[in-house]
Structure 1
Amino acid sequence: MSTMTTIKVPKDVRDRLAALAALEGTSLAGALVHALDRADEQTFWQQVHEANAHVTDEQRSVQRDAGIATLRENLADDADEQISAAGDW
């Protein structure tokens, strides 16, 4: 079991968190975890964007010729849709 702690936050922050928890049908801790997970994901994708911002069209062409799929190609992969439809995740 996780160790519990108490944090002090302004009442308006607590109220916002409570509203989010109610919307998500979870506890305050659950809403906080979900919010942190979303922030982590947003940070990850921002880093991906920044890391790929400097890649030139020529470099993308070389990667494609080497069989390295682009993120867009990976996201458009029909095999993923088939796996999802089959429930095989």
Structure 2
Amino acid sequence: MSTVTTIKVSRELRDRLAARAQRDRVPLGVVIARALDESEERSFWSAVTAEHAALSEADRAAYAADSTVRDSIDPADDAVSVRNGW
């Protein structure tokens, strides 16, 4: 079993968390974990977007020419969805 701890938050925040937990029928910890997961994912994609925006045209061309970056699936292959269970 994992250990638990107490954190101090304002009553307003606790009430917001509790309302979300009740609405979603999950424990408070799940609400907090989901919020953190979503925040981390937004941060990740913001960094990806910023890195992409910073690429020069030459960098983009190098990525486009790199065959290891591209998918190896032929989009014209109708069996792809059946073969991969899509």
Report the TM-score, using the length of structure 1 for normalisation: 0.71
2:2 paired residue number:
2
Q: CA deviation at 1:58?
A: 2.5
What percentage of aligned pairs have identical amino acids? Answer: 32
Q: Structure 1 residue runs of 4+, over 3 Å off? A: none
Provide the C-alpha distance between the structure 2 equivalents of 1:6 and 1:64, rounded to a whole number of angstroms.
50
**Alignment of structure 1 residues 6-45 onto 2, 5 Å:** 6-45=6-45
The residue type equivalent to 1:15 in the other structure is: D
The structure whose residues are more often helix, as a share, is 1
Larger-Rg structure: 2
Report the TM-score, using the length of structure 2 for normalisation: 0.73
Q: CA deviation at 1:51?
A: 1.9
User: Number of matched residues?
Assistant: 79
CA offset digits 1:44-88 (Å, max 9, x no partner): 11111122221122321122122234xxxx7xxx6xx938x826x
Residue 25 to residue 86, structure 1, CA distance change in 2 (3 Å): farther
The residue type equivalent to 1:61 in the other structure is: A
